[in-house]
Amino acid sequence: MKIILAKQAGFCFGVKRATQIAFEAAGKGGKTFTLGPIIHSPQVVQKLEEMGVKALENVAGMDEGTIIIRSHGAASDELEEAVRKQLDILDATCPFVKKAQEHVKNLSNSGYDVVVVGDADHPEVQGIVSYATGKVYVVASGEEAVKLPKMGKIGVVAQTTQSFENLRHVVDACLVKGGEIRVFHTICDATAVRQEEAKKLASQVDCMVVIGGYNSANTKRLAEVSAEIQPRTHHIEMAQQLDPAWFEGVKIVGITAGASTPKWIIDEVLEQIESIAKDKNR
């Protein structure tokens, strides 16, 4: 059985940066917390916890020490509270997310009603939205954008992991809503590149394994686009979940991983599949 690992599997730039910041801080010791899970990988969060760095729901529970802002960013009022409490702040917000937050702040301050293209329940979107000082709407699709009210000046930004198609449809719907529409292309193409590679790989193999947190939106989407092409697609969080039965009659297996999946987990999965392959050849 041949195993092909996608080139784009695993940590993106922002996740790599956030994880480095968190582990460095953990190594130094002291009273250190993350504001929410640092990235959407339960295994990384657990490792940090083992090193004494816990994830807090909000700043309310902290009075001293270091607070690490997660890759998805934080709501502006949480950050303000951290500043007020004179906590040491380590900002691990992905620079692309930071840009989206800044655009929303500037648009709001310049009198634009803001439309954020994304998932209203996602922490990144909740953070971005919090920077609006005026009206702000979250829409998940062009169909939702059609229902928006008429506005004067409209500013549009997107959750960094949105599909470009989605942004296009929302912009199209917004064009009839106001006299001016100002769009910032805040989508990070790491997601699109990863998905394109997964699609290509899925078309060349008999079985796909997608590795990443079940709470990771980009990993779930990766598994979806793969399954559309290769129905034998399995989304796992850890090597222990691999089932040898999945590989019956499989000649080539493709592997990819979400942007928040650490290398050590990918390596464990690779080893485990190699061992399953050896058993098959015996």
Catalytic machinery residues: 124
User: What DSSP state is assigned to residue 73?
Assistant: -
Q: State the binding string over 198-227 for a copy of itself (x if CB under 8 A, else -).
A: ------------------------------
Nearer to a copy of itself, 11 or 96 (CB): 96
Task: Report the half-sphere exposure of 252 (CA within 13 A, side-chain side).
Answer: 11
User: What DSSP state is assigned to residue 248?
Assistant: T
CA angle 92, 96, 102 (to 5 degrees): 90
216 is in an annotated binding site: yes
Residue 74: strand pairing partners: none
Tokens representing 142 are 């062009």
Nearer to a copy of itself, 96 or 247 (CB): 96
Nearest C-alpha neighbor of 233 from the set 275, 202, 273:
202
Query: Cβ(201)–Cβ(208) under 8 Å?
Result: yes
C-alpha to C-alpha distance for 54 and 46, rounded to whole angstroms? 9
Helix (H, G, I), strand (E, B) or coil at 69: strand
| List 60, 83, 176, 193, residue binding a copy of itself (CB under 8 A) | 176
C-alpha to C-alpha distance for 192 and 43, rounded to whole angstroms? 25
CB of 135 to a copy of itself, least distance (A): 19
229 in contact with a copy of itself (CB under 8 A) = no
CB of 50 to a copy of itself, least distance (A): 41
164 in contact with a copy of itself (CB under 8 A) = yes
C-alpha to C-alpha distance for 246 and 250, rounded to whole angstroms? 8
| List 27, 61, 149, 179, residue binding a copy of itself (CB under 8 A) | 179
149 in contact with a copy of itself (CB under 8 A) = no
64 in contact with a copy of itself (CB under 8 A) = no
CB of 152 to a copy of itself, least distance (A): 11
117 in contact with a copy of itself (CB under 8 A) = no
Binding site for isopentenyl diphosphate: what residues are annotated?
40, 72, 122, 216, 218, 260
Interface ranges with a copy of itself (CB under 8 A): 164, 167-168, 171-172, 175-176, 178-185
